[in-house]
Amino acid sequence: MRRGIVGILFLLLGTLGVATAQIRLIPQERIEEAANPSTIGKRVMLFEQGERVSFGTISEDSEPWRTTLHWRSSEGQRVTITQIKTSCGCLVAEWDRRKSMSATSGTLEVEYRPKGHTGGIRQRIFIYTTLSESKPTAIVEIVGSVELSADRASLYPHLMGTLGLRNRTLTLPAEGGKMEIAVRNCGSEPLRVLHDSRLSLGGISAYTEPSVLQSGEEGVLVVELEATDVKPILFLGGVNAPPRERKIEIEIEKR
């Protein structure tokens, strides 16, 4: 019997070893490079407006922001643009392929579409040339701020610091349950909102989905209540406001 158990253990260990051997760990450097590709190292393309271009502050309702980027090569080196990628579908960059064949200067036509993207904006343009197939020759950053459209701003009339809420009153069943409130981060810094455990009472808790609201991002505040005879009181934490302004009014359904 004991020999049988030992044999099974060796079999399991051997199987685990094979499975582990088949798992290919991707180096962290490769993951970072995929998310934030680095350039070829030397500055070959020089941009008249610089490598960080700001569109200032525009409204989400604005027409797409457009600009022309002028570039020239360093030391008269001839380059050919092979492809251009952007970090978001809201950002488009195009070039004249005929005029960019073995050229020492050229232009890029850039368009940023703000609809659906609010708050602080940081997007990038990755320009690839014949100098490298794997690394961009140049990276241009497009930055600015997009204000929420007037129509959508009216959807969040209740403010707790920089957290906008559709409403601040909930009705929950006495036996407990879950309800949601639509929310939006109206500030410029990320928000992680939870219930304030020091002030909240009655088995009630709250969190947002997503757990961290980025600037301008919309989500939901999930409020959960356990069955209790104590009148629940909910205060939110993680918002820059005094306690009296962080209270969610909770009503219990009559049985």
Q: In the chain, where are the structural domains located?
A: 39-149, 155-252
| Euclidean distance between CA atoms 49 and 71, whole angstroms | 9
Is domain 39-149 classified as CATH 2.60.40.10?
yes
| pLDDT tens sequence across 225-238 | 987 778 899 999 99
* CATH no., domain 155-252: 2.60.40
Under the banding of pLDDT at 50, 70 and 90, the label for residue 86 is very high
| Range of weakest confidence among 152-156, 218-222, 237-241, 251-255 | 251-255
| Euclidean distance between CA atoms 221 and 213, whole angstroms | 11
Which pLDDT score, from 0 to 100, does residue 32 have? 41
Which pLDDT score, from 0 to 100, does residue 12 have? 45
User: Which tokens sit at 108?
Assistant: 């890029």
Amino acid letter for position 175 = E
Q: pTM value?
A: 0.58
Strands 234-237 vs 247-252: parallel, antiparallel or unpaired: antiparallel
Under the banding of pLDDT at 50, 70 and 90, the label for residue 4 is low
Report whether pLDDT(120) > 70: yes
Strand order across the 138-147 sheet = 52-59, 138-147, 119-129, 81-86
Which pLDDT score, from 0 to 100, does residue 56 have? 95
| pLDDT tens sequence across 169-187 | 988 887 888 889 999 998 8
Most confident region among 4-8, 131-135, 147-151 by mean pLDDT = 131-135
Domains 39-149 and 155-252 share a fold: yes
Q: Is 70 within 8 Å of 49 (Cβ atoms)?
A: yes
Report whether pLDDT(49) > 90: yes
Which pLDDT score, from 0 to 100, does residue 20 have? 37
The structure tokens 């978001």 sit at 88
| pLDDT tens sequence across 198-208 | 999 989 999 99
In sequence order, the 6+-apart residues with CB closer than 8 A to the CB of 229 are: none
Report whether pLDDT(43) > 80: yes
The residue among 153, 32, 136, 26 whose CA lies nearest residue 85 is 136
The residue among 70, 178, 83 whose CA lies nearest residue 127 is 83
